[in-house]
Structure 1
Amino acid sequence: MLEALKPAIEWLHFHPIIACVATFFIAFSESIAFIGLVIPGSVLLIGIGTLIGSGVITARETILAAIIGAILGDFLSFWIGHHYCGHIHDIWPFRRWPALLKKGEAFFHRHGGKGVFLGRFVGPVRPITPVIAGVMKMPFLNFALVDIFSALLWATAYMLPGIVLGGAASAELSHDAVPHFILIMLISTVTIALLYWFIVKIIQFFVRMYHHFQKHLWTYIQQTPRLSLLKKMVYTPFSEEREHQIDLLFLSLLSFLFFCFIVYEVMTGGWLTHYNPPLNYFFRSLRVLAIDKIMIPLTFLGEKRPMLALLIAVGAGLLWKRYYRTAFFWFLNGFLIFGLTSGVKLYLHVPRPLGIKGALEQGWSFPSGHTALSIALLGMMALMFSQHLPRLSRKYLYTFMFGLSALIALSRLYLGAHWLSDVLGGLCLGLFCLSSTALLYRHRKNQLRPRNIIFIVIIAAIAWLGVWSILLFKEERRAFEKYQLSWPKEIITLKEWQDQNGNNHSPLYRNDRFGKPVQTVNIQLLGNLNVLRSQLLRHGWLPLNESALKILFFRLSQQSNQIANLPFITRQYLGKAPLLTFYKIVDNNLLIARLWQSSIEILPQKTTILVGEVAYYHAWHPHLLRKHKKDKPVLLGSRNPLDVLETDLKHTSSLTVKVAHFEQYPPLNNALDQDWNGNVLLITTNKETAR
């Protein structure tokens, strides 16, 4: 297939007009009513963008063809709607699937003229919106102006990802490898689109099943005298939203049961708590300063003082506008979540993770107060103030509020301030307080005027964000220090380091991103890293750029390059990336040496040693699933990797090399450690030895 693709790509390169015509018809078909429902035009445009970025076809003419095709397709759809407006319902596919027309009409009524622009980017209504605009007798000039502008953005937006990816690939790959990369990208794009469609259909099926169950359960509760108490609990005057009371009832019961289960697991050290250390270690491995600068302000949003300001401001606004019943339930929800969170913390006394410098300053860990408070208070605000909004706008408001709460919860995990069980406990407790209060609150209609809602929201935002800004201004620098990663330190003398062996010291191990030891450290360096770097270059070692994007391009292109088999994720030690990564081809195998900064300090020099590994890269293969005998490590090369490095370094005046023996420690039961032979190379620069 690849051999057939190469001539086709070359032919397209020398006949760009064919590519323009094909692009025109793809965009045209995607925009025509009915046809656009089955043509995966968006996916194909991404593929065309890849061809543009790779330099196979020209950019300006191809993008222009897509824009013209999209505009003419919409104009034709508009004419169909305008011409057949009287009996559009009798035309296929509206006759077969009337819901399509209803969905398009509802979208157009909701957004008006700007629906032509928005509909261009909403998949299910994209080819229907121009038809509806014609049916609604929208002036053609108004339609054309909006449609042309949307087509310009649409064609560019859908081609841009492919252009960027194709351009980056052509810069990294050889000319012969580009066709294979393009083929893989096209297949991957189509596969992802089909998978997305399948998942959406599955979700829609289960949602329909649940709604069917809701209606039957509501009817059963209303018709069963024995369930009169339950009937009173789920009563609401909103006839169109009675099933939502069932949702709140289920949510209240399930969140309470899950919270009790999590409390039991935390108290007994059950299986759920076994996931706490690995996940905490994983988030520590992701820490970078750029993300810290986002997560620390986010975590301040859920802090107790801004949330208390939000509670008081909203409550005061409701009382001022004489919404006494709404204010009662607002304060009830707030007092419940503040009281239960503090009470459970004091009762259980769960310690926090110790991986950050300020862990002991933050009190008890379970449940996460930030998560619980944000879920309960922001969720209650969304429920109280969304009754006058259309259903779609209400959905957007709920998504925003709960999305913000999810980001606050994520910030607690990322910064290492909470265990996974803490965040799950806070989530369940917040949902329980919110759903229980909302279930009772919705028993009566609460007529909140829109202008009063806007006033209260403004007051609440000023109070919440005002306190947040003050805290951020006063405590941000201290927060960066408090949330800094902390690793256990070890201080030893130079003689102890030089005399280490298996009798008086255990070897060091590198953990994976979940804290599990996967590889024995077999290099230790005391001294100047640049001295080692220059010696490696002198003996044929080359710097290795473990860029995930570069490795991805090599792998997709299937180039005959051993770097293509490297994993995308950089290996770490104590949450740090390597300071040095070099490789060398030995016996046609890839030998890699890496060095990281450790937490071991040597006295009296007060120098931190560097630790690392030198090993053959063992690309994954099904045979690695078989466990190897620990006393018989599998070596890819004919020479042990440590022997190769020792040979390259020992005949130099700038370095002193010594071998420490740890034969009593077998290789770990992991494919990464199969080159371990019980020896550790201790490397010292001569300046350090002289001291």
Structure 2
Amino acid sequence: MALIGQSHELVADIHQGGGAALSLTVLVAGAAMCLGASLWRSLSGDHRPAKSVLVSLQSAGLAAAFVALAYQVKAGDWLTSVDPAVLGWFTEHRSAWVTGPAIAVTDAGGPVGTIVLALVIGALLSRRARSPIPALILIGTVGAAALASTVTKTVVGRARPPIASQVLLETDHSFPSGHATEAMALFVTAALILGYSWSPSRRAVLLVTAAAVVVVVSVTRLYLGEHWLSDVIGGMLLGGLAAVIGSALYSAWMGQSHGRRTGHSDAATTDTGTTDLCRSNSTMTGPAA
């Protein structure tokens, strides 16, 4: 009986290890797919509506990576075994002069702060475009990301880090980090909308700046002991997926707007040409006898 029990445990360990290896493969492949598609779009300099193939590759890559990580978190496999060590490192390296600013940043990146920022940034983008569409896309993207994060928390059901490790007590589910999800969706989408017509180098600087803000917000969640490392990585993946979809919607709207403007311009040119031609014919034939 003992031999049978050990055999079952061995088979379970092999199955668990195989699942973790497969999840890691999917995670890395998904991230590579997204990065490759993003680099392709950046180098192509395509300011027209985003090509459906590239958007599909980016979305599929991020979705696959997120699902693989969520599966590992729920299963508790070795892929998330580094989480306690990372949490312990941040807990041991806290200092009073960092804790205060970290609390301020994490408060600003909370649900209320994110809503306010989305409204303000959206209003500025809409004023610049003279249309409410950019604001609606930005706010809708952030809202959809927040909803997806809440649903995933319930499905995965991961517990928060130990209360003794937390600076700010939070007892709801942990994966993914709502702060990381919403920050990624908000700042990256806003950067993509703002830099839509910019040169590739200026867009790259803008995106790096947005990514830096997301990293700062995410690190505060680790520093304050509110999340595990895989929580914030999952939040970034989910928020990135929302940003890709939101920016694709904005690109499609810009393409339609450009098409309408071009159509009106062509129509005006045709009308002007017809009028000039009529006037020319009238001049050539002279007044009727």
Give TM-score scaled by structure 2 length: 0.65
Alignment match of 1:403 (pick from 212, 217, 220): 212
The answer to whether 1:392 aligns with 2:201 is yes
In 2, Cα distance between equivalents of 1:379 and 1:343: 22
Q: Which residue of 2 aligns with 1:340?
A: 148
How large is the Cα RMSD of the aligned pairs?
A: 3.2
Please tell me the residue identity of whatever aligns with 2:86.
Answer: L
The answer to whether 1:439 aligns with 2:248 is yes
Alignment match of 2:229 (pick from 410, 416, 420): 420
Indicate the structure with greater strand content: 1
Please tell me the residue identity of whatever aligns with 2:135.
Answer: A
SS at match of 1:260: helix
Alpha-carbon shift at residue 432 of structure 1 (Å): 0.8
Q: Which runs of 5+ in 1 are unaligned?
A: 1-209, 219-235, 449-691
Alignment match of 2:117 (pick from 310, 323, 326): 310
The correspondence of residues 439-458 of structure 1 with structure 2, limited to 5 A, is 439-445=248-254
Deviations along 1:456-499, one digit per CA (max 9) or x if unpaired, are xxxxxxxxxxxxxxxxxxxxxxxxxxxxxxxxxxxxxxxxxxxx
SS at match of 2:204: helix
Alpha-carbon shift at residue 309 of structure 1 (Å): 0.7
The answer to whether 1:263 aligns with 2:70 is yes
Change (3 A) 1:214 1:385: closer
Alpha-carbon shift at residue 324 of structure 1 (Å): 3.4
Deviations along 1:45-100, one digit per CA (max 9) or x if unpaired, are xxxxxxxxxxxxxxxxxxxxxxxxxxxxxxxxxxxxxxxxxxxxxxxxxxxxxxxx
In 1, Cα distance between equivalents of 2:239 and 2:107: 18
Q: Which residue of 2 aligns with 1:381?
A: 190
SS at match of 1:442: helix
Q: How many residues align?
A: 218
Please tell me the residue identity of whatever aligns with 2:141.
Answer: N
Q: Which residue of 2 aligns with 1:657?
A: none
Q: Which residue of 2 aligns with 1:293?
A: 100
Please tell me the residue identity of whatever aligns with 1:387.
Answer: Y
Please tell me the residue identity of whatever aligns with 2:183.
Answer: S
**Whose Rg is larger?**
1
Alpha-carbon shift at residue 246 of structure 1 (Å): 5.5
SS at match of 2:196: coil
Alignment match of 1:328 (pick from 133, 136, 143): 136
Please tell me the residue identity of whatever aligns with 1:271.
Answer: W
Alpha-carbon shift at residue 264 of structure 1 (Å): 0.7
Alpha-carbon shift at residue 306 of structure 1 (Å): 0.8
Contact 1:249–1:435 under 8 Å retained in 2: no
In 2, Cα distance between equivalents of 1:357 and 1:440: 39
Q: Which residue of 2 aligns with 1:155?
A: none
Contact 2:166–2:225 under 8 Å retained in 1: no
Alpha-carbon shift at residue 388 of structure 1 (Å): 3.9
Please tell me the residue identity of whatever aligns with 2:219.
Answer: L
Alpha-carbon shift at residue 256 of structure 1 (Å): 0.6
In 1, Cα distance between equivalents of 2:40 and 2:123: 37
The correspondence of residues 167-206 of structure 1 with structure 2, limited to 5 A, is none
Contact 1:333–1:376 under 8 Å retained in 2: yes
In 1, Cα distance between equivalents of 2:60 and 2:126: 31
Please tell me the residue identity of whatever aligns with 1:332.
Answer: G
Please tell me the residue identity of whatever aligns with 2:196.
Answer: Q
Indicate the structure with greater helix content: 2
Contact 2:166–2:224 under 8 Å retained in 1: no
Give TM-score scaled by structure 1 length: 0.29
In 2, Cα distance between equivalents of 1:340 and 1:328: 18
Contact 2:50–2:251 under 8 Å retained in 1: no
Q: Which residue of 2 aligns with 1:672?
A: none
Alpha-carbon shift at residue 300 of structure 1 (Å): 2.4
